[in-house]
Structure 1
Amino acid sequence: MKPQVDVGIAFYGKPYQTIVTIKSLIQHSGQYIDKIYISRERRQPHNDYIGIFKVVDYFRNDPNVRLVIHYPYHHLGLGVIDLQRAKNDTSWRQSIMYQYALETTKKNYLCIMHNDMLFHDDMIGIMLQQMTTGPENLIGIGSIGQCWSCPAGSDWANKCNPHVYEDFVPTYQEAMEITEAYATPRQQIQKNVISGGRVHIMPECRLNEYCAMINVKSYRRETIPDGDIGCYGGNWGGVDNATVWSHDVYQKGYRFKHLRLEDYTRHAPFDSTSSGTQANDNRDLYLRSEANAREYIENNYGPIKFSGYVQFANSVDSIKRNAWLTIIHTYGYLKGLVKK
């Protein structure tokens, strides 16, 4: 039997794009995949709360897909900074993106990814082969860096890229000078990170979450609650998710292996902006992207036929969500009365 990995997906809307992600992933890498963990964010874009139930229903009779659905207790978004609470509060910590799967999987390796991917080759098989034959300090494989926004990247000073990021080791002064010299999209945040002592790897450098494989044993050893490094899916005052985690594990002697994402998959292929994030705030773009993904499914995998489960599950979920909101609002009202 070939070695197996689990997959962790953060679900923030985009049910049809999620279906494409899973279908194309299984098509090319299914032989290596056991469970697929999906954490549905407590809040969903454009009130698309029914989406997760479409995904569950679509794969209900598919023997090749084993879904584990997780409903986080909190909605934390991108601004996770409370390290002490994350260490001590399990439900809060496991509401951080990808953390539930990273704590729960029984596999040696977990592949985390976005839910708007279209695979055209076996990326997991390649990552697994390189991970199992790599050095002991190899903690993750995937695309490295966010060079488009890094002052050392090819669009700016052109001193660094994913293949040489280990060799480009600036001093604090050099890092600050190059950051001040180029008006990158997140210049001020980068300066703040460098001022805080995180110089190399550079503030934008990370193991990218679009699709990456992580050594679970090493991750748990160094990351809270067992270690002292903030979770992969948190911001922790960095420029983006996983940038602080990537820096801190790198400083502890761990290393990453770069794979060119585009050789195996496309990110946001149904989004006309190719960003995957603008649709979160643009309802028309969101709906167009979803319509494009649904058309792709029906053209390549056949007609979509949802059962009555979708509406039923959504109705139950709606009642629970509304009840929870009522409790929160009532608590806030009573707290205000007490203060008076």
Structure 2
Amino acid sequence: MRPITYLRATDTATAVAAVSSDPTSDFLAGGTTEVDLLRQNVLNPRRLVDINELPLTGIEGTEEGGLRIGSLARMSEVAAAPVVRERFPLVAQALELGASAQLRNMASMGGNLLQRVRCSYFRDAHSACNKREPGTGCSAIDGFSRGHAVLGTSEHCIATHPSDVAVALMALDTRVHTMGPSGERAYPINDFFLLPGDSPHREHPLEHGELITEIEVAPTPLARRSLYLKVRDRESYEFALVSVAAAMSVADGRIVDVRMALGGVATKPWRAERAEDFLIGATIMRDNFAMAARVEMAAARPTPMNAFKVELAQRAIVRALDMLSNGTGTASASGSESGSPS
């Protein structure tokens, strides 16, 4: 049995100072992932700093049409907020499809962005895993890799990022605000998630003791016509094999603007920039959607076990764009394309 001490912080400065001064300390919010990893001996902090009393729970729209979400706002609260559902339906859908009701009531937004991968080798303390123990190797590359990434991989890691809402936020102009030992910072969301490269243990640019305080979504009018489509093995409580967050603006039968990100297929929430570039100015037709999907997935590097994800992702992209173009994009995805734990 490992002894763990506990501290309840009542202000942000105290929380940051407590964790940053001790390399064996971690923040504790909803704990829906942290507690699991403690039990599995994947994480071994000697002290947990409870931040649940910090005033970081706000959910409010800005006058310009954007959104500010406190890092301790619960997933269920954000999904239910009228301003989120009206301005950014893809965010609400991703949250509702991202966990069971019980987990959504506990999990914080900041914790969701920081959740660790669900790779079974990462969570098995006896398996080689460069993300858990740098330099030990990656068991997934020659092991069971059906659910692993085909984009953004390296010879050191092919684990898939598990968050749903991070995919939706990746499709938008989102900034992650933090407070740390060096003061306040703001990260564009694409910079907030790091590719594994040769240092897969480093998933974010945060220094030890740096705390997410707020998630800022810039005004994005086209996001009112948006969706989050999720494809998975079973109807509920399952991670995405492929997911698509998309928003689109159309005029005179042509795409004026489009935002798209993919989940379930990459080592980080994946902004589909190649597909976006292809689609802008293109006419609304399935052939163009299919070509954009092929362009985006051309860089995929699958294993024999997860090669099916390449075609599945292409089909999901086409379906998502079809739904947006025919006006069904703001309806919640359901059936075999919904839900997962986070």
| TM-score after normalising by structure 1 | 0.29
Structure number with larger C-alpha Rg: 1
Bigger helix share = 1
| TM-score after normalising by structure 2 | 0.29
